Structure 1
């Protein structure tokens, strides 16, 4: 079928799709999943090009093929694109590469059989230089059955995997959003593909005249479905770009933690881990975030001998002055206790006691929990530091308005 999307709209989108595909082959082809996906997208882009009127006329002029044959060729490439895409779904579902390889061989055989049936069933339409939609006949019904077989398998498997990813415990919100988006797109495609042989059959038995609808829908549906697929394929690129610029969630959490991290390594330089960061970008890796949490915890342990019980009157003054919400008072009290201990450690290396006051027990079960705990402490660390410093000079803690603004981003990084 020839695309009905205006050339002024179609070609810029195809150009962007080509750039995305090139970038994916250059920088996002390190794993079998990425290579299979890139292969599928390559066939999808070829299909989109074959459906453009200018390309069809150019190919017809150079090869002698009529437009009807080229249109059937574009339908054949749609079927071919399903094999690598099904391999992607298989790998994402946890199948081993060997099992996926065996699945690929089976799917390739099914695809070859479908293409052979399409080749035979589409002969009359090709000879008449007619779109397969227009030629009709029982051979046309058979053509659409063969065309739909592999695609319906793909739709079923892909939707099932999207639901698995959406329901997976601990799945990031971004993964769930992409899973829902893909499930919707694949469902729409699956319904359209399933309707093709149904409409062809109903047309042949003269129950429903669907030719006009099918011509209008097919002339643009695939273009927009393929464009949606390319948009989803840009997600890893966008993620890598935001990580490079330091806009990702890991870097943002590190920035918030780094106020406390800098204070701890300034007090205890020996707590720094001998790891080579080797960073060439503004973003922070998960390993660097974990390193920062370990160094903060080491610093807190070394501060323990300097920790003393906070005077209730002083604590009440701090909580009232900073207007600490009731739900955050435990973290604020801990921050005040640590800020006092840090001041005492800076004044003298001899702790007042060997054990010190016990610190709150961590209930973190993973890195995310650990970071969340330390972030709650970090929220009140700058205010506690100011309060301790100014209280020693007989001045109340800093201005309340400065509490949130003081949680800035230091320049150092682990």
Structure 2
């Protein structure tokens, strides 16, 4: 597995994969403190992966490999800072987080300098530094292993605490579980390296290539997890999220009703970039206002076939009949005809207690609205009473039975 992960095709594919995700996050997911920490963590991960590719070049000594160990330590400083940022005091003051991170970064920098100094003889001999039970190996092992273990423990405690709290939803619990498994895998690799250095067991071959392979595997897993917010944001910008889909389904109904009652439109000059959720909230408010304004123009409801409402697709005849009344009312108001009723707002066929219920009702109405065609014009004239049998919009493929 070590040889496979460090082979050139796989290594460059991983580098490209990480670079694309990190570049996208730097452009689109960078506002929150947590996102900034994540982005910088993977920038250091990308630097380490590139340095590991340099070690395969015959003309370059093991300095690149030693610097890659320093980059790994820098990634762990961000892991520890992420664990620290979950504290209440840190959330209240981001400055606390960055002061904490600067201290961790100085520790990682000092450890990197120690590794480079301890590996001087290895560089002079043109070989990789080995974590053997001699002064060079012990200093290198301590300089690399102690900060790594310390930082990952702080990071792992965050995952354990959140998992035990029982608050996160299923998706967040899955992410936290992946995070903890990845950290535990790092601890396992560290324990195997210590055991191999002092006892010779297990005989897994050179340690540094194995560290590179395990680090690459962890980067692949973790960068895939943090790509989820990026993919979600790209979906929102492409109009593929639930709010954008609901806006598209409501658009024909909203367009026709606001054309009949233009004064209820909140902001005619809508910016080019508007959050889909905010746009959906605005559309529902304006549709509801339009329904209230068109209440006095609603004619009498047509006959409903049968003693009970009959289901037709996902809409019952009550919704279909109301859509036909509403179309008549919109046409009448748009062309300046007088209200049919006494002037008060007509009673709506349903009243929602919450936004989700109201949205489902409006989507059902919009589905019926987009499936209707105009069969005639209102016969109400200014100053006249409502006709005995008004002309409605007929649902496609259906005609109400004669009176």
TM-score using structure 2 length: 0.74
Q: Which has the higher helix share?
A: 1
Q: CA deviation at 1:397?
A: 3.6
Distance 1:294 1:394 in 2: 26
1:219–1:31 Cα change, 3 Å: closer
State which of 360, 371, 377 in structure 2 corresponds to 1:372: 360
The answer to whether residue 55 in structure 2 is matched with residue 56 in structure 1 is: yes
Q: 1:107 aligns with which of 96, 101, 104?
A: 104
- TM-superposed CA distance for 1:115, in Å, is 4.8
State the match for 1:299 in structure 2. Answer: 290
2:314 matches 1:314: no
State yes or no: 1:245 paired with 2:233: no
Q: Measured at CA, do residues 235 and 394 of structure 1 come closer, stay the same or move farther in structure 2, by a change above 3 Å? A: closer
Label 1:316 to 1:131 Cα distance change in 2 as closer, same or farther (>3 A).
farther
- Equivalent position of 1:73 in the other structure: 67
Aligned position for 1:352: 341
**How many Å separate the matches in 2 of 1:147 and 1:117?**
14
* CA gap 1:191/1:278 in 2 versus in 1, 3 angstroms: same
Q: Deviations for 1:312-347, whole angstroms, at most 9, x for unmatched residues?
A: x42549954x6356xx64xx5245225314414523
Q: In terms of Rg, which structure is larger?
A: 2
Partner of 2:216: 223
Distance 1:236 1:297 in 2: 33
Structure 1 match to 2:7: 6
Which whole-Å CA distance do the structure 1 matches of 2:377 and 2:221 have between them? 56
Deviation of 1:79 after TM superposition, in Å, equals 1.2
1:375-414 matches, within 5 Å, as 375-383=363-371, 397-399=395-397
Change (3 A) 1:213 1:318: farther
Partners of 1:388 and 1:118 in 2: how far apart? Answer: 85
> Contact between 1:50 and 1:71, CA under 8 Å: does it hold in 2?
yes
Distance change (3 Å), C-alpha of 1:334 and 1:163: farther
What residue number does 1:406 align with? none
SS at match of 1:211: coil
- Contact 2:257–2:287 under 8 Å retained in 1: yes
For the 8 Å contact 1:148–1:194, the answer to whether it is kept is yes
Which whole-Å CA distance do the structure 1 matches of 2:157 and 2:119 have between them? 26
Alignment of 1:261-280 (within 5 A): 261-279=254-272
Q: Give the C-alpha shift of residue 200 in structure 1.
A: 3.7
Distance 1:84 1:382, change over 3 A: same
Structure 1 unmatched runs, 5+: 170-175, 401-414
Tell whether the 8 Å contact from 1:2 to 1:51 is kept in structure 2 after alignment: no
Tell me the equivalent position of 2:353.
Answer: 363
Q: Counterpart of 2:267 in 1: which secondary structure?
A: coil
How many matched pairs?
374
CA contact (8 A) 2:320 2:368 kept: yes
Q: 1:353-392 deviations in whole A, cap 9, x for unaligned?
A: 333553222211x5x5543342233333345777999996
1:93 and 1:304, CA in 2 relative to 1: closer, same or farther beyond 3 A? farther
CA contact (8 A) 1:293 1:371 kept: yes
Return 233-242 or 5-14, whichever deviates more: 233-242
The alpha-carbon distance between structure 1 residues 353 and 345, as it changes in their structure 2 partners (threshold 3 A), is: farther
- Residues of 1 paired with 2:43 and 2:330: CA distance? 62
**TM score, norm. by length of structure 1:** 0.72
Q: Quick one: structure 1 residues 87 and 148, their matched pair in 2 at CA, closer, same or farther if it must change by over 3 Å?
A: closer
Corresponding residue SS for 2:11 = helix
CA distance in 2, matches of 1:395, 1:80: 68
